Amino acid sequence: MLDFGYYNMDCMDGMKQFPDKYFDLAIVDPPYGIKVKNNMGRRHGTKKSEYPKAYWDKTAPPPEYFTELFRVAKHSIIWGGNYFNLPPAKCFVIWDKPDKSENVSFAMCEYAWTDFDMTAKIFRRYAKDDCRIHATQKPVDLYEWLLGIFAKKGDRILDTHVGSASSLIACHKMGFQYVGFELDKYYFDLSNKRLEQEKAQMSLFDFMGGGSTETEARQSEIDLHMFSVSSGE
């Protein structure tokens, strides 16, 4: 079995290495098969992109991907759930982007399917990463918010399609153990560097005596979310 960490490999090969229900929560964002443009977000796509051609978005994952995902994970949150053949969801998640207007080619909101027996949720905060390295990068804040609601202390987290590593950075910041896969070597190298930089910054923070405060603050955040989820607030 693979150890916790981030791997430059096909997630189908990666998931095979793990026993049934090994992960408490999978938060995944597979290709939607909509041939995403690498100049997404530019005003009607006029400006040249800073990202390499998104060849990875030609096809959505095959049904075997979802079978394997549901085998290894107890719970799943699947971005782009509107593009895949999934069962009806009571608890879906909307990422509402208040900064997006109809003049840009970005969607004004995004949908994630979940298998949780909770009420539907909306992430409505404006959230932007300073460091953008991927055409379909989601903000670290969004992943932190998801982990705060849907994960509990000690959970093992899986991301099968890491991209920019926003998910893994959120896991690291909140003290969750994770496994992540990214097939594309270019994106793997870039995002691994981003992740390592984040970890180094946090170690420096710890060294300077701020670590326990941040860790405690994160834990209180998780505890608070768990309290409000279990008490239905």
Ligand X SMILES: C[S@@+](CC[C@H](N)C(=O)[O-])C[C@H]1O[C@@H](n2cnc3c(N)ncnc32)[C@H](O)[C@@H]1O
The footprint of ligand X (CB under 6 A) covers: 10-12, 29, 31, 56, 134, 136-138, 160-161, 163-164, 166, 181-184, 187
Closest separation in Å from C-beta 160 to ligand X: 6
Q: Residue 104 phi/psi, 5° resolution?
A: -115, 160
CA-based nearest residue to 199, from 60, 19, 5: 5
Closest separation in Å from C-beta 129 to ligand X: 9
Q: Which is nearer to ligand X, 97 or 138 (CB)?
A: 138
CA-based nearest residue to 150, from 177, 178, 124, 117: 117
In this structure, the dihedral spanned by the alpha carbons of residues 84, 139, 190 and 13, taken in order and rounded to 10 degrees, is -30
Q: Which is nearer to ligand X, 129 or 221 (CB)?
A: 129
Closest separation in Å from C-beta 90 to ligand X: 23
CA-based nearest residue to 111, from 87, 90, 86, 81: 81
Encoded tokens for 215:
């860790």
Q: Which is nearer to ligand X, 10 or 216 (CB)?
A: 10
Q: Which is nearer to ligand X, 121 or 138 (CB)?
A: 138
Closest separation in Å from C-beta 140 to ligand X: 9
